[in-house]
Structure 1
Amino acid sequence: MIDEFHFDYIIIGNGLAGLQLALKMTSDSFFDNKQIALIDVSEKKTNDKTWSFWETKPSQWNDLTYKTWEHATVITSKKNIDLNLKPYQYKSIKSIDFYRHSISKLKKHSNIHFIKEKVYSVNESKQALVKTNKNTYTCNHVFDSRIPNISSGQIKNYTYLIQHFKGWVIKTNTAVFDNNKITMMDYRLKDGEQTTFTYILPFSKNEALIEFTYFTENTVTEAIYDTYIKTYIDTYLKIENYTVIETEMGQIPMTNFPFYKYNTKKTTKIGTAGGWVKGSTGYSFKHTEKKAAIIIGNLKANRIPSHNLFKSKYMFYDKVFLKVLKDENYKGEWIFQQFYDKNSIQTMFRFLDEESSFIEEIKIMWSLFSWSFIKAFFKTL
């Protein structure tokens, strides 16, 4: 008989990390007899973001992919850098498609239980206790996507920036976009001496996501994003007639703050709350998939789930990069120009995927060789 208040595992939050972890569990027979609860107050019925990533091979996400590209460009005030991504493909998935697919697939498993409640607290004794607005549940282990409350005193010894953005999906009456090429970064339009750029995903010849992005310490009002997006459309795309059919906004922490220190024997922080977002770029989709796979391996081997989730050398690289970007934020354009002009895009993708060779890492570091990075290197040490 199944106890409706006790589970083997509880996953708090049906976002990217929670659903990917649950999907990994249901794809492995080891978990067939494990009772798994997913608790979230939201039913995930809105398209609240677009996830983009790159892959070289077909994957489980193929049927969900909204659009793929094999070419990209990085534009700075000094040059245009055209990138042939092959054998990689850059892919985008709409969050609503991911939510619907994942929840539908999970509901086919009798050992998966969706609970629509708000979690108030997680405590630990002999078991983990999860208190919601309606009930108290127990389990052997909790996977918690709630971001911990971090005081200014806790964060002051770490580098903390925010990747924040707003995007418009616009539709035009005529074919104006090259739908075979994304604009990864266009630095021609700036908000002062800060790292800001425009990002473009052309879904078709007359529809595209146009996003204005900051890598800064402070956020801005929504109207400021709108002003820059409109200016970019008017000045650089020179589009006069268009309709805004959708908008999205987001904030992603770019930090070396050790979220992993909140992991315990009975609780593992996941997603943004677990530091799964790559600190130097904000990329999360494929990193989440990899970390979910590591957790599955740890559970099957009877290890603490958070064992070996992070690679120390990449944490160090991110730490140096973030230090430069925080101390000299205006240098963002130069940094990313060096990244993509002095290294192949395939090397950069491997580096960002944390799959690069030591020789590739040395080459990347050399391309950024400057007094700024030397100072940051020794300050980080």
Structure 2
Amino acid sequence: MSIQTKTVKAKTVAIVGGGCAGWSLAARVDQLSANTVTLYLKEETNPSHNWGFWQMPWLSDALSKKRAMWNSWQIITDEGIVTHHSRNHAYCSITSDDWFDWCQKRFHSAATTTEIIRLPVTNTDKNMLMTSNHKKRYDLIYDSRPPKADKNILLQHFKGLEIKTSIPVFNSKAAVLMDFRVSQENGIHFMYVLGYDQYTALVESTFFSTSPHREEVYDEAIRDYLSRIYNVTSFEIVKSEKGIIPMGDVRPKDQNPFLYSIGSNAGAIRPSSGYAFSFIQKQITQFLDRQTKPTNPHKKHDLMMDLIFLEVLKSHPEKAQRLFFKLARALNGDSFARFLSGEANIKDYFLVINSMPKWLFINQAVRVIIEKWKRIAKWA
């Protein structure tokens, strides 16, 4: 079967899903060179949440809509504090509401004819989409629906509270990306703190483990952290957010080969760290600029390094904060931002590899290679 890879010849295009990837592509419909573009949305309410990213060339649109920006950030463990600075790659935060609002305005003001069908896609058949009350064929279909994750992989799961305090306690000059000064009894655990001003911050309890926790686990962790680290026992909750991100192999739930997967459905989430927003924008920019079908935005060696790193974390969770601390200490702000944004150079890779315990990673690398060969042999 031959699948068309050039988007320029598609007269009718459908985008399935109204999450980050769906709306991000919808905002750039005029680059699809189509006569009509239809966006399929599920009628559901998604609370606003924050996406973090480092300033990179493909994120100029997001940069203009950012809520806040920090030229410094920190990794904190019991061992110490690593503070990075960067003028070239500031750490930024954008709200999903602000991004979706911008995308919707771009979609509705496009020169291309656009329409929205507010019904979930229930089934597909080659290049046909079906809902509860209609079906229609398209020349090209982009599928941004959430993927299926392998069982027993690590999950990054979190709950965050945006809070206001009556006293000035937060550092609005430096984002705290990881603070490991919290209990580790329920899995690899750290706090993520974005100080918008001295009184307002997003405080997020994040775990790496194979299953999410009860909501009160995150709430109690946040309250204990605020009390111990900031001496804050009372505060106003402005809003909350939560999520689960798979840290490993994912694949589309719909295996229809006529669909072009985008976003997390096409592996945009970086297995070891997430940062889906940045990689989704990178993926969309790449395939639109090249006029080709969407591909995984990550380099193969990055994915292999991530796979080995995740196996180390699963086998030795007690070493997690030490590993992150050593990694952060080995890099400066620019190299750290490049590495986590998929733009590392040879020197960055050397520093990353040199910072890790060699035999531990070699042992896990051998296991990963053996498992890959077993899978190949199973399907041969």
Which range, TM-score by smaller chain? 0.7 to 0.9
**After superposition, where does 1:104-115 map in structure 2 within 5 Å?**
104-109=105-110, 110-115=112-117
Are 1:170 and 2:159 an aligned pair?
no
Judging changes above 3 Å, is the alpha-carbon distance between structure 1 residues 294 and 87 closer, same or farther for their aligned structure 2 residues?
closer
SS at match of 1:143: strand
SS at match of 1:83: strand
**After superposition, where does 1:358-377 map in structure 2 within 5 Å?**
358-377=346-365
Structure 2 residue aligned with 1:351 = 339
Structure 1 residue aligned with 2:378 = none
Deviation at 1:145, TM superposition (A): 1.8
Kept after mapping to 2: 8 A contact 1:48/1:96: yes
Structure 2 residue aligned with 1:213 = 206
**After superposition, where does 1:1-381 map in structure 2 within 5 Å?**
8-26=12-30, 28=31, 31=33, 33-42=34-43, 46-55=46-55, 59-109=60-110, 110-124=112-126, 128-149=127-148, 155=150, 160-192=153-185, 194-255=187-248, 257=249, 259=251, 266-298=258-290, 300=291, 303=292, 305-307=293-295, 309-381=297-369
Kept after mapping to 2: 8 A contact 1:262/1:269: no
Deviation at 1:200, TM superposition (A): 0.2
Q: Which sections of structure 2, spanning at least 5 residues, go unmatched?
A: 1-9, 370-380
Judging changes above 3 Å, is the alpha-carbon distance between structure 1 residues 263 and 335 closer, same or farther for their aligned structure 2 residues?
farther
CA distance in 2 between partners of 1:180 and 1:310 (Å): 30
Deviation at 1:35, TM superposition (A): 1.2
CA distance in 2 between partners of 1:47 and 1:88 (Å): 28
Judging changes above 3 Å, is the alpha-carbon distance between structure 1 residues 228 and 309 closer, same or farther for their aligned structure 2 residues?
closer
CA distance in 1 between partners of 2:307 and 2:255 (Å): 21
CA distance in 2 between partners of 1:274 and 1:308 (Å): 6
Kept after mapping to 2: 8 A contact 1:170/1:208: yes
CA distance in 2 between partners of 1:284 and 1:117 (Å): 25
Q: Which sections of structure 1, spanning at least 5 residues, go unmatched?
A: 1-5
CA distance in 2 between partners of 1:272 and 1:148 (Å): 7
Show CA shifts across 1:60-105 (max 9, x none): 1233111111111111011111221222211111111111111122
Structure 1 residue aligned with 2:6 = none
CA distance in 1 between partners of 2:140 and 2:330 (Å): 46
Show CA shifts across 1:219-239 (max 9, x none): 100010000001001111111
SS at match of 1:316: helix
Bigger drift between 183-192 and 289-298 goes to 289-298
Deviation at 1:272, TM superposition (A): 1.8
Kept after mapping to 1: 8 A contact 2:267/2:297: no
Judging changes above 3 Å, is the alpha-carbon distance between structure 1 residues 348 and 262 closer, same or farther for their aligned structure 2 residues?
farther
CA distance in 2 between partners of 1:56 and 1:295 (Å): 17
Show CA shifts across 1:6-51 (max 9, x none): 972111111111111222332x3x62x431111011366x543201
Judging changes above 3 Å, is the alpha-carbon distance between structure 1 residues 331 and 123 closer, same or farther for their aligned structure 2 residues?
farther
Deviation at 1:263, TM superposition (A): 6.8
Bigger drift between 54-63 and 271-280 goes to 54-63
Judging changes above 3 Å, is the alpha-carbon distance between structure 1 residues 115 and 129 closer, same or farther for their aligned structure 2 residues?
same
CA distance in 2 between partners of 1:215 and 1:64 (Å): 30
Kept after mapping to 2: 8 A contact 1:263/1:306: no
Amino acid aligned to 1:167: G
Kept after mapping to 2: 8 A contact 1:195/1:329: yes
Deviation at 1:166, TM superposition (A): 0.4
Deviation at 1:108, TM superposition (A): 1.2
CA distance in 2 between partners of 1:147 and 1:308 (Å): 15
Deviation at 1:164, TM superposition (A): 0.3
CA distance in 2 between partners of 1:138 and 1:91 (Å): 40
When the two structures are superposed, what TM-score results if normalisation uses the length of structure 2?
Answer: 0.88
Amino acid aligned to 1:348: F
Deviation at 1:372, TM superposition (A): 2.1
Deviation at 1:287, TM superposition (A): 0.7
Kept after mapping to 2: 8 A contact 1:72/1:84: yes
SS at match of 1:182: strand
CA distance in 2 between partners of 1:307 and 1:251 (Å): 23
CA distance in 2 between partners of 1:307 and 1:273 (Å): 10
Kept after mapping to 2: 8 A contact 1:51/1:94: yes
Bigger drift between 103-112 and 183-192 goes to 103-112
